[in-house]
C-alpha cells in the first residue's frame, strides 16, 4: 500500500502542506516519495528514492495552491526514481498519484503505446495519466475524462490527479481507501485521516465506485458508474491528534505498546446490548467463521480457543487470503467475523465479499473508524485502541482479543464475568508496563541480538500467541523466528535445536501448563536457552519474564512482553522498529 495526499485551496504554500501531510503517511510505504505542484500554470514534479521522513517541508514553499504527493510501497516496478510517483502524462499536462493495482494495465499500456504514448516507468500507475490525456480529447471536462478512464480500470485503486487546464483536484476510488478533509475554502485528500488532522477534523469518506472533483471552494461527489452527483454527509473526527503522535516515546511501536496500559480497558468498554446481539447471532448462525490477516489472523486463531474453552462453541478460522476457497461451506445463515486493525486490508475485504455473495452476515471487529470494512459490515465493534501507526501491530491485537473474549463469555450469558476478567487483566497490564520491566526485557534482547534463529512454543491460546510472537520478532528484527504448538516439537522442529538456541515458552496457570513445562525441559535437554514467559518462575527456564496470572485472558498479557522483546531486538540490531523493510501497515493490494 502507498500513501497519497492532495491539496487545493487558497493557501499559497500547498507544497509545504502536502509534504507535511505525506510525511504523516510514511508508515504506508517508504520505498520512494514524490510531489507535483502547479506553479505558474505548469506542473513541477520532484521525486526520490527512500524515506520522506528527512525531507524539509520548508524547501517546498514556492507559491502554489494545488499540489499532490505520494509515498510508495513498491509492487509493480522496482524501487527507482522513474517508478516513483507522481507520474506525468506524455504532454506534461496531467499528474497522478495512485495507491492500489490497475490489474489490466498491460492491455491498456499496449493500447496506448499503439496510439504513440511512450512509457517512462514499469508501473501500472502510468497508464492512468496517459489514458486521462487520451480521454481529455473527447471529454467535456477533466472530471469527465477521469470518470471515463476509471470505467476502463480493473482492480483496486485510489488516485488523485491534477491538470494544467483547471485549478481542480480529481480523485477516485475502488477498494483502496481515500478520505476527504473539508476545510474553509480548501480541500484535502488523503489515504488516512492523521495526514490532514492538523488542518481539519471534518471529513468525508469516498465509497467504492465514487469520485470527487474539487477546487477547494466547491467539492462534488460523483458516481463513476453513471456520473450522477452523490449527496454525502460530513463526519466530525472524535479522537485527538496527540493520540496519533509519538509523545515522549522514540518510536510509535513503543508508544503503542505502552498505550496498552489503557487501550485494553477501552476495548472492554463495549455496548452490552450489542455484544449480546452479536453473541446471539453467533449462537443462531449455521457455521461461524473467523478471518483476518497477519497479526489479526493469529488473534482469530486465539479466539477459536476462547469460543471452545469458554463457550463450548465451534467456530472456524481461515486466513482471509484463503477464505474465498471456503465459499462451499457458506450458507445464508452463516456468519463471518472479520478482524482488522486498519479496516482496509484487501484480502479481508474480499473475504467479506465472498460471504456477502452467499447471503451470509458479516461482523467486523476493527480499530479504524470509518474504514471500508467498518462501513461494509452488517455488525461492527470498534476496539477503541486509537490510531496505530507502527507497522507491527501491538495494541490492536490485545484490543481485538479482549473484544472476542467478551463475546465468548456473552455466548454463555456470562458477560459480566468476562468483563471482570478483562478489567483485571487491564489493571495487571497497567502495573506490568513499567520502566523496570522494560529494562529487564531489554537485557534479554541484548543477550539474544546475535542469534539469527529463535523459536516460540505454546499450547491452547498460547499456541496462536507463539505464532504471533514469531511474526512480531520477524517483522521488526528480521530474526528467523518460528512458533509451534508445544506438542508438535517432537514431530520435526526439535531437530533445529542446538546448544544455545533461544526458545521462548508461553505459559499460564491452566490445564496445559505441565505439558508446556515438559516441552520446555525437552528443549533444554537438547541445549536450548529457554526463556519462560509465565506467572511463576520455574527451573525449566534459563531466563524468566514474569506475567500476571490472567486466567482466560492469559493470551492477551503473554504477547505483550514479546512485543517489547521484539522492539528491543530491533534496536539492538540497529533497525527502525517503526518501518521494517518490505512491509506496510495494511496491505490494500492483492
Ligand atoms: C500487515 C501489517 O500489513 O497487515 C500487520 O504489517 C497486520 O501488522 C496485517 O497484522 C493485517 O492488517 P489489518 O489492518 O487488517 O489488521
Q: In terms of DSSP bridges, do strands 288-291 and 316-317 run parallel, antiparallel, or are they unpaired? A: parallel
Is residue 563 in contact with ligand 1, taking CB distance under 6 Å? no
- Residue 396: which pLDDT band, with cuts at 50, 70 and 90? very high
389 C-alpha vs ligand 1 centroid, how far in Å?
Answer: 11
Is residue 584 in contact with ligand 1, taking CB distance under 6 Å? yes
CB neighbour list of residue 232: distance below 8 Å, 6 or more residues apart = 204, 205, 221
Rounded to an integer, what distance in angstroms lies between the CA atom of residue 3 and that of residue 252? 18
348 C-alpha vs ligand 1 centroid, how far in Å?
Answer: 10
- The continuous run of DSSP H or E covering 310 comes out as helix 294-311
Length of the chain: 590
In this prediction, residue 127 carries a pLDDT of 97
Residues 473-499, buried b or exposed e (16+ Cβ, 10 A)? bbbbbbbebbbbbbeebeeebbebbee
Is residue 392 in contact with ligand 1, taking CB distance under 6 Å? yes
Residues 403-428: what's their mean pLDDT?
A: 97
Main-chain dihedrals φ then ψ at residue 53, nearest 5 degrees? -45, -45
Rounded to an integer, what distance in angstroms lies between the CA atom of residue 447 and that of residue 374? 43
In this prediction, residue 54 carries a pLDDT of 83
357: exposed, middle or buried (Cβ count in 10 Å: 0-12, 13-18, 19+): exposed
Rounded to an integer, what distance in angstroms lies between the CA atom of residue 417 and that of residue 420? 5
Rounded to an integer, what distance in angstroms lies between the CA atom of residue 371 and that of residue 345? 10
Handedness of CA 56, 58, 63, 64 (dihedral sign): positive
Mean pLDDT for the chain?
94
**Residue 93's closest CA among 162, 185, 169?**
162
In this prediction, residue 243 carries a pLDDT of 61
Is residue 385 in contact with ligand 1, taking CB distance under 6 Å? no
Residue 385 grid cell: 485502541
Query: Residue of the nearest CA to atom 9 in ligand 1?
Result: 294
Strand ranges across the sheet with 335-340 = 316-317, 288-291, 335-340, 361-366, 379-382
Rounded to an integer, what distance in angstroms lies between the CA atom of residue 396 and that of residue 371? 15
Query: Residue of the nearest CA to atom 12 in ligand 1?
Result: 586
Percentage with pLDDT > 70 across the chain: 98
391 C-alpha vs ligand 1 centroid, how far in Å?
Answer: 8
Is residue 125 in contact with ligand 1, taking CB distance under 6 Å? no
Residue 185 grid cell: 475554502
Rounded to an integer, what distance in angstroms lies between the CA atom of residue 359 and that of residue 334? 8
58 C-alpha vs ligand 1 centroid, how far in Å?
Answer: 33
Rounded to an integer, what distance in angstroms lies between the CA atom of residue 112 and that of residue 106? 10
Rounded to an integer, what distance in angstroms lies between the CA atom of residue 363 and that of residue 384? 16
Main-chain dihedrals φ then ψ at residue 529, nearest 5 degrees? -95, 110
Main-chain dihedrals φ then ψ at residue 147, nearest 5 degrees? -65, -40
- Helix, strand or coil, per DSSP, at residue 482: strand
Q: How far is CA 467 from CA 138, 254, 482, in A?
A: 55, 21, 7
Is residue 127 in contact with ligand 1, taking CB distance under 6 Å? no
Kindly report, residue by residue over 240-285, the tens digit of the pLDDT. 666 667 888 999 999 999 999 999 999 999 999 999 999 999 999 9
In this prediction, residue 229 carries a pLDDT of 96
11 C-alpha vs ligand 1 centroid, how far in Å?
Answer: 36
- Residue 156: which pLDDT band, with cuts at 50, 70 and 90? confident
Kindly report, residue by residue over 96-121, the tens digit of the pLDDT. 999 988 999 999 999 999 999 999 99
Kindly report, residue by residue over 492-535, the tens digit of the pLDDT. 999 999 999 999 999 999 999 999 999 999 999 999 999 999 99
In this prediction, residue 239 carries a pLDDT of 66
Ligand 1, residues 294, 348, 401, 468: which to mutate, most atoms within 8 A of Cβ? Answer: 294
- The DSSP call for residue 86 is P
Residue 261: count other Cβ atoms within 10 Å of its Cβ. Answer: 17
* Contact between residue 460 and residue 506 where contact means Cβ atoms under 8 Å apart: no
Rounded to an integer, what distance in angstroms lies between the CA atom of residue 529 and that of residue 523? 8
Is residue 263 in contact with ligand 1, taking CB distance under 6 Å? no
Is residue 342 in contact with ligand 1, taking CB distance under 6 Å? yes
pTM of the model: 0.85
Residue 69 grid cell: 504527493
**Residue 559's closest CA among 446, 454, 461?**
461
Is residue 320 in contact with ligand 1, taking CB distance under 6 Å? no
In this prediction, residue 231 carries a pLDDT of 92
- Residue 62: which pLDDT band, with cuts at 50, 70 and 90? confident
Residue 114 grid cell: 499503439
**Options 47, 255, 472, 585, the catalytic residue:** 585
* Contact between residue 503 and residue 455 where contact means Cβ atoms under 8 Å apart: yes
Kindly report, residue by residue over 202-211, the tens digit of the pLDDT. 999 898 899 9
398 C-alpha vs ligand 1 centroid, how far in Å?
Answer: 14
Query: Residue of the nearest CA to atom 4 in ligand 1?
Result: 586
Query: Helix, strand, coil % (nearest 5) of the chain?
Result: 40, 20, 40
User: Does residue 134 have a pLDDT over 80?
Assistant: yes
- Adjacent-strand bridge partners of 94: 163
Can 129 be counted among the known catalytic residues? no
583 C-alpha vs ligand 1 centroid, how far in Å?
Answer: 9
In this prediction, residue 427 carries a pLDDT of 96
Rounded to an integer, what distance in angstroms lies between the CA atom of residue 20 and that of residue 199? 11
Atom of ligand 1 nearest to the CA of 292: 15
Strand ranges across the sheet with 453-458 = 480-485, 453-458, 502-506, 529-534, 543-546
Q: How far is CA 527 from CA 29, 332, 426, in A?
A: 41, 53, 36
Residues 25-38: what's their mean pLDDT?
A: 91
Can 298 be counted among the known catalytic residues? no
Atom of ligand 1 nearest to the CA of 348: 15
Rounded to an integer, what distance in angstroms lies between the CA atom of residue 96 and that of residue 43? 11
* Contact between residue 348 and residue 338 where contact means Cβ atoms under 8 Å apart: yes
- Helix, strand or coil, per DSSP, at residue 336: strand
- Adjacent-strand bridge partners of 38: 43
Is residue 421 in contact with ligand 1, taking CB distance under 6 Å? no
- Residue 579: which pLDDT band, with cuts at 50, 70 and 90? confident
**Residue 41's closest CA among 15, 64, 58?**
64
Residue 527: count other Cβ atoms within 10 Å of its Cβ. Answer: 11
**Residue 249's closest CA among 564, 569, 572?**
564
User: Where is pLDDT greater, at 318 or 176?
Assistant: 318
CB neighbour list of residue 562: distance below 8 Å, 6 or more residues apart = 456, 465, 468, 469, 472, 473, 504, 506, 533
In this prediction, residue 345 carries a pLDDT of 93
Rounded to an integer, what distance in angstroms lies between the CA atom of residue 46 and that of residue 80? 13
Residues 560-589: what's their mean pLDDT?
A: 92
CB neighbour list of residue 168: distance below 8 Å, 6 or more residues apart = 8, 66, 142, 143, 162, 213, 214, 215
Strand ranges across the sheet with 3-8 = 42-49, 32-39, 66-72, 3-8, 187-190, 179-182, 202-205, 235-236
Percentage with pLDDT > 90 across the chain: 86
In this prediction, residue 241 carries a pLDDT of 60
261 C-alpha vs ligand 1 centroid, how far in Å?
Answer: 22
Is residue 587 in contact with ligand 1, taking CB distance under 6 Å? yes
Amino acid at each position: 500500500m502507498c500513501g497519497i495526499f492532495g491539496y487545493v485551496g487558497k493557501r499559497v504554500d500547498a507544497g509545504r502542506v502536502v509534504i507535511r501531510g505525506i510525511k504523516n503517511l510514511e508508515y504506508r510505504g517508504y520505498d520512494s516519495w514524490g510531489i507535483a505542484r502547479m506553479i505558474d500554470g505548469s506542473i513541477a514534479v520532484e521525486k526520490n528514492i527512500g524515506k520522506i521522513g528527512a525531507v524539509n517541508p520548508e524547501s517546498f514553499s514556492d507559491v502554489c495552491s494545488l499540489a499532490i504527493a505520494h509515498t510508495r510501497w513498491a509492487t509493480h516496478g522496482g524501487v527507482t526514481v522513474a517508478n516513483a510517483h507522481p507520474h506525468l502524462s506524455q504532454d506534461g499536462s496531467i499528474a497522478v498519484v495512485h495507491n492500489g493495482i490497475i490489474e489490466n494495465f498491460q492491455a491498456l499500456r499496449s493500447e496506448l503505446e499503439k496510439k504513440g504514448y511512450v512509457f517512462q516507468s514499469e508501473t501500472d500507475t502510468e497508464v492512468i495519466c496517459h489514458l486521462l490525456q487520451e480521454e481529455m480529447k473527447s471529454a467535456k471536462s477533466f472530471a469527465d475524462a477521469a470518470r471515463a478512464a476509471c470505467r476502463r480500470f480493473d482492480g483496486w485503486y485510489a488516485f488523485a490527479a491534477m491538470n494544467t487546464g483547471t485549478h481542480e483536484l480529481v480523485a477516485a476510488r475502488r477498494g483502496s481507501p481515500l478520505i476527504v478533509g473539508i476545510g474553509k475554502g480548501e480541500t484535502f485528500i488523503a489515504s488516512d485521516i492523521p495526514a490532514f488532522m492538523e488542518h481539519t477534523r471534518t471529513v468525508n469518506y469516498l465509497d467504492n465506485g465514487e469520485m470527487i472533483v474539487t477546487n477547494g471552494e466547491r467539492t462534488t461527489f460523483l458516481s463513476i458508474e453513471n456520473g450522477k452527483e452523490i449527496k454525502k454527509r460530513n463526519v466530525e473526527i472524535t479522537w485527538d491528534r496527540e493520540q496519533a503522535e509519538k509523545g515522549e516515546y522514540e518510536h510509535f511501536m513503543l508508544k503503542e505498546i505502552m498505550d496498552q496500559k489503557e487501550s485494553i480497558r477501552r476495548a472492554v468498554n463495549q455496548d452490552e446490548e450489542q455484544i449480546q446481539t452479536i453473541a446471539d447471532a453467533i449462537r443462531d448462525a449455521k457455521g461461524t467463521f473467523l478471518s483476518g490477516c497477519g497479526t489479526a489472523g493469529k488473534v482469530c486463531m486465539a479466539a477459536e480457543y476462547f469460543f471452545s474453552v469458554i463457550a463450548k462453541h465451534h467456530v472456524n478460522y481461515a486466513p482471509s487470503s484463503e477464505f474465498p476457497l471456503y465459499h462451499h461451506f457458506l450458507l445464508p445463515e452463516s456468519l463471518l467475523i472479520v478482524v482488522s486493525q486498519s479496516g482496509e486490508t484487501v484480502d479481508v475485504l474480499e473475504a467479506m465479499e465472498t460471504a456477502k455473495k452467499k447471503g451470509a452476515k458479516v461482523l467486523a471487529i476493527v480499530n479504524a473508524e470509518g474504514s471500508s470494512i467498518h462501513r461494509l459490515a452488517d455488525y461492527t465493534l470498534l476496539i477503541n485502541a486509537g490510531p496505530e501507526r507502527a507497522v507491527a501491530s501491538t495494541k490492536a491485537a490485545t484490543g481485538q482479543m479482549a473484544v472476542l473474549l467478551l463475546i465468548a463469555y456473552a455466548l454463555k450469558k456470562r458477560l459480566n464475568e468476562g468483563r471482570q476478567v478483562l478489567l483485571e487483566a487491564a489493571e495487571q497490564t497497567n502495573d506490568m508496563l513499567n520502566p523496570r520491566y522494560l529494562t529487564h526485557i531489554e537485557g534479554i534482547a541484548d543477550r539474544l541480538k546475535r542469534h539469527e534463529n529463535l523459536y516460540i512454543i505454546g499450547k491452547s491460546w498460547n499456541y496462536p500467541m507463539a505464532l504471533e510472537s514469531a511474526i512480531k520478532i520477524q517483522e521488526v528484527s528480521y530474526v528467523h523466528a518460528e512458533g509451534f504448538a508445544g506438542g508438535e516439537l517432537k514431530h520435526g522442529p526439535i531437530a533445529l535445536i542446538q546448544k544455545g538456541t533461544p526458545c521462548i515458552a508461553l505459559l499460564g496457570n491452566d490445564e496445559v501448563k505441565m505439558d508446556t513445562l515438559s516441552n520446555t525441559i525437552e528443549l533444554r535437554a537438547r541445549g536450548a536457552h529457554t526463556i519462560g514467559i509465565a506467572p511463576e518462575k520455574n527451573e525449566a527456564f534459563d531466563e524468566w519474564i514474569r506475567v500476571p496470572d490472567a486466567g482466560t485472558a492469559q493470551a492477551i498479557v503473554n504477547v505483550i512482553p514479546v512485543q517489547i522483546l521484539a522492539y528491543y531486538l530491533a534496536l539492538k540490531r540497529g533497525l527502525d522498529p517503526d518501518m521494517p523493510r518490505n512491509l506496510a501497515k495494511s496491505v490494500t493490494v492483492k
